[in-house]
Amino acid sequence: MRFGYCASIQDAPLLKELGYDYLECVLRDLDGMSPGELREARSLLRETGLAAEAFNCFYGPQRLVGEDVTPLPELLDYTNRVLERAAELGGKIAVYGSGRARHIPEGFSREKAKGQFCEAVWHTAEAARQFGITLVLEPLNAGETNFFHTVEEGTQLVGEIGHENLFLLADWYHVCREGEPFEQIVQAGPLLRHIHLAEPVNRRVPRMGDGADYGAMGAALDRAGYQVRVSIEAIHDPARTLRQEAQEGLEVLRRYFN
C-alpha cells in the first residue's frame, strides 16, 4: 500500500522526510499556475523524489448540472489543461468529487441532472485516459451535495457510465457520515482505485488513540483486496504543526493499512 497526504507542493520535502510515498494536491489550483510556477513545482518534486500522484478538488466555478451548466467544450478545455499539468507533476489519480459542481438546483429534474453528470464524467474519463490518469468518482455526504452520497451509489454510477478509465474512491469520513456499512466497500473492491482517510467525527488528521476504529476500515479494504493508495485528507488543527499531524497520521496508516 502507498501512503499519501493532501497538502501543497511546497510541503513535499517534509512529507518525503517523514516517509510518505506521494503527495495529493488540488487540481483546480493548477489552472492558475504560470508556466514558470509549473516548472518550479516540477523541479521541486523531482528534487524531492515525491510525485504528486493524486489530485482532488477537480472543479472551481464550473457547473455540471442544471440550467446554467458549463458547456461541454469549455468544460473539456479546462479539463485537458489541468490534467496535462497534473500528468507533468506525476499525476496518476484524479478525484471527481466537487459537490458544488454537481449540486442539483431546486426544481430541476434529477433524471436530467443525472444524464448531464454522466455525460460530463464519461468525457472526463476519456480525457484523463489520454494523460495516463485514472478518474475516480467520490461519494460525498449529504451535507456537501444533494447528489450521489454513498459507495453503493458510486458503484452503480460507474457501471452505468461504463468507461474503462472510470473507477471509484471511498472516503472513510463520508462513509461514516452516511452510516454506510463497510460491506459496501468490500463489494466495491474491484472498482476501488483510491481511498481518503480522516477522523470520522471532526474530520481531523487520524491519531492513535483518538477513538476512531481505523482497524475496521483497514479490515474492509483487506477483504476487498485493495492494495493501491490511501491519502490522509483532513482538516488541520491550527494548534499543531504539519510535521506533528503528518507524522501521527502516518503512524495510523502504517498500523492499520499495511
**Domain 2-256, CATH class in plain words:** alpha beta
Is the model's pLDDT at 258 over the cut of 90? no
Q: Residue ranges per domain, the chain?
A: 2-256
Q: Which residues contact 149 (CB under 8 A, 6 or more apart)?
A: 139, 140, 141, 142, 174, 178
Cell numbers linked to 172: 472513510
- Percentage of the chain beyond pLDDT 70 is 100
pTM of the model: 0.96
Q: What is the mean pLDDT of residues 76-84?
A: 98
What pLDDT does residue 146 have?
A: 97
Half-sphere exposure of 125 (CA within 13 A, CB side): 18
Burial of 233 (0-12, 13-18, 19+ CB in 10 A): buried
Is the model's pLDDT at 53 over the cut of 90? yes
Q: What is the mean pLDDT of residues 158-184?
A: 96
Tens-digit pLDDT profile for residues 60-78 = 999 999 999 999 999 999 9
Alpha-carbon gap, residue 22 to 37, rounded angstroms: 20
Q: Are strands 93-96 and 134-137 parallel, antiparallel or unpaired?
A: parallel
Residues in a beta bridge with 5: 23, 232
Rounded to the nearest angstrom, the gap between the alpha carbon of residue 182 and the centroid of all alpha carbons in its chain is 19
Alpha-carbon gap, residue 194 to 167, rounded angstroms: 9
Tens-digit pLDDT profile for residues 95-120 = 999 999 999 999 999 999 999 999 99
Confidence band of 214 (pLDDT split at 50, 70, 90): very high
- Say whether 192 sits in a helix, a strand or coil: strand
What number of residues does the chain have?
258
For the chain, list the strands marked E by DSSP.
2-6, 22-26, 54-56, 93-96, 134-137, 166-171, 192-197, 229-232
Tens-digit pLDDT profile for residues 219-228 = 999 999 999 9
Tens-digit pLDDT profile for residues 226-238 = 999 999 999 999 9
